[in-house]
Each structure stands twice: as structure tokens, then as C-alpha cells.
Amino acid sequence: MSGAARRLADAGVDAARAEAEQLAAYVLGVPRGRLALADGFGPEQLRRFEELVARRADREPLQHLTGTAGFRHLELAVGPGVFVPRPETELLAGWGVARGREAADRPLVVDLCSGSGAIALAVAQELPAARVVAVERSPEALRWLRRNAADRAAAGDRPVEVVVADVTDPELLADLAGRVDVLLCNPPYVPRSVVVPPEVAGHDPDEAVFGGADGLAVIRPVVRRAAELLRPGGVLGIEHDDTHGTAVPELLAADGRFTSVTEHHDLAGRPRFATASRRPDGDRADAGPAWQTGSS
């Protein structure tokens, strides 16, 4: 194990020891917490473990090697063609769950840029009375989204509705206009000039990572469409790059149809997502409201 951890550390992998243990547990078919109680590798298991360590040292994502990614209370299937959900996004999902509980007995929740379905499926599991709509356009990502949605429905969670659409379409979800209680979005938001880690550059879909030159190419139309989809008093949460802690709240404030614009930080203290409420009167203010910084 120590040799595998050293190899991963030398390759630049963070938390190398923990990842070596996760790979070992995966090969042995035991939880990582029970790894010390497991029998040693058999010859074939050792070969498999060494192969996986070599692939991880080449910076293939750990989640691609194990085929799953943890997200809140879920284990989601992931692999080539879909963005691997990050722990930071769990904060946005949790915010959405909390707002959904406050919204209505049967809230309507929309997840834009759904990818693997992480946010939508977490909401559906934790808010079983909610109607949850997941929107995705990528054929590759849709295969993972539908697989995860089917798996969770088979496990007893409320089924989510999968809609194939481009979130920048000005007529997106026209039948839901003015009816949505909670709208959540983890869009592509990395500015094109940013150098991303090898796991991202070589494996996450480009269209799920980069949001144009300034990283806001998808966020701008999402803000506009969210104002049309939300009911008066409905709420919006958008994840963004840590360089957008001012830019995204300013976009929301400048739109004029939102109040209570708030910036939230992740557990590392970085700006991570912005939230806002649709004006109760449904109108557009002459000037954008002020915004504030909130906690994670």
C-alpha cells in the first residue's frame, strides 16, 4: 500500500494514501473502513490493483476507475462522457433541498445542466414529494443521467423527469414558465484561459467545464431564463467559478427581477454559488437590488 501511495504522490495526486486505499478496497470488494480487516490480495487482485494504480498515476480520475462518485447520500455511476460531480456542489444541492422544503407541499424543482443527475437525484431522494425535472443536452451525459435516474427509481426514490434541451434556449421549458419553485444549475463556468488539472483536461467533457472566454457564456442566458421560469418568490441557485464571486451576483442584481441576491462560499472559504429570489410582484425593478455575502 505504501508503494502505491508513493507512486500516486509522485504523480501529483492529492490525498495519495487515501486514494490508494480506495482502490484497494474497490478491488477487494470491501468498504474502505474495513480494509485493515480484509484478507490480502490474491494474484489476480494484485494485478488488478497495480493496473488501477498505474492508470491513476496517469491521472485518470479515481471515479472513472471505480465507476462511481459519491454525492450527498448517493452513489452515482460515472465514466467517460459525463462530468464527475464534485463535493462543492453538494452545498448547492443542500441549499436547494432546504429551499424546497420551505416552498410548498409538492415543490417543482428544476436542475439545469444536470450531467450525471447528481443534483436532481439528490433532491428527489431528500424531497420525495417534489416534482424534479433534470435538463441536459449532451448525448453522452444523458446516457449516464438516464442510467442513474433508473437506478434510483428502482431503489425506491421518486423518479425524476429527464428533458433533452439546451439551457441557453430562450424557450426552455416553456410549459413551466412562472411555475418553478426552485431552480438549480451547475453550468460550465471555467474561463477558457484557465489551466485545469489533468483529470479535468483529459477526461471531463470540455462543454461541461468551460463557459466561454470569461466563464459566463452559459450563466448569462440561464439567469435570464430563470427569471421567466420561476414563480414570484421562487428561488435560484447557480454554482460558479471562484473568480466569479462578484460577477454572478452582479448579473442577478442587474437583471432587476430578483431580490435577496446572496453569495455563498464553499468549505474552503472560496466563492462558490450565488442565490436569489424572484421578485414577489413578478415585475422588474428599475435598478438591480443590492447583494450580500452569505455563509456556505
Mean pLDDT over 98-120 rounds to 95
Spatial distance between the Cα atoms of 13 and 4, rounded to a whole number of angstroms: 11
Looking at residue 60, its amino acid is E
Integer angstrom CA distances of residue 140 from 97, 170, 204: 27, 23, 11
Residue 186: the pLDDT is 98
What is the average pLDDT score of the chain? 93
Q: Return the domain boundaries, the chain.
A: 1-58, 79-278
188 annotated as belonging to a binding site for a ligand: yes
Confidence band for 251, pLDDT divided at 50, 70 and 90:
very high
Confidence band for 296, pLDDT divided at 50, 70 and 90:
low
Confidence band for 42, pLDDT divided at 50, 70 and 90:
confident
- Cβ 129 vs Cβ 109: under 8 Å: no
126 annotated as belonging to a binding site for a ligand: no
The DSSP string of 224-289 is HHHHHHEEEEEEEEEE--TT-TTHHHHHHHHHSSEEEEEEEE-TTS-EEEEEEEE-TT----SSPP
Residues with Cβ within 8 Å of 275's Cβ and at least 6 positions away in sequence, in order, are 95, 235, 236, 237, 238, 260, 261, 262, 264, 294
Mean pLDDT over 76-80 rounds to 97
Spatial distance between the Cα atoms of 9 and 256, rounded to a whole number of angstroms: 49
Confidence band for 120, pLDDT divided at 50, 70 and 90:
very high
Q: What is the CA radius of gyration of the chain?
A: 20
141-166 as b/e: b if 16+ CB within 10 A: bbebbebbbebbeeeebbebebbeee
Dihedral angle of Cα 226, 209, 254, 285, to the nearest 10 degrees:
10
CATH number of 79-278: 3.40.50.150
pTM beyond cutoff 0.95: no
Confidence band for 289, pLDDT divided at 50, 70 and 90:
low
187 annotated as belonging to a binding site for a ligand: yes
205 annotated as belonging to a binding site for a ligand: no
Residue 3: the pLDDT is 86
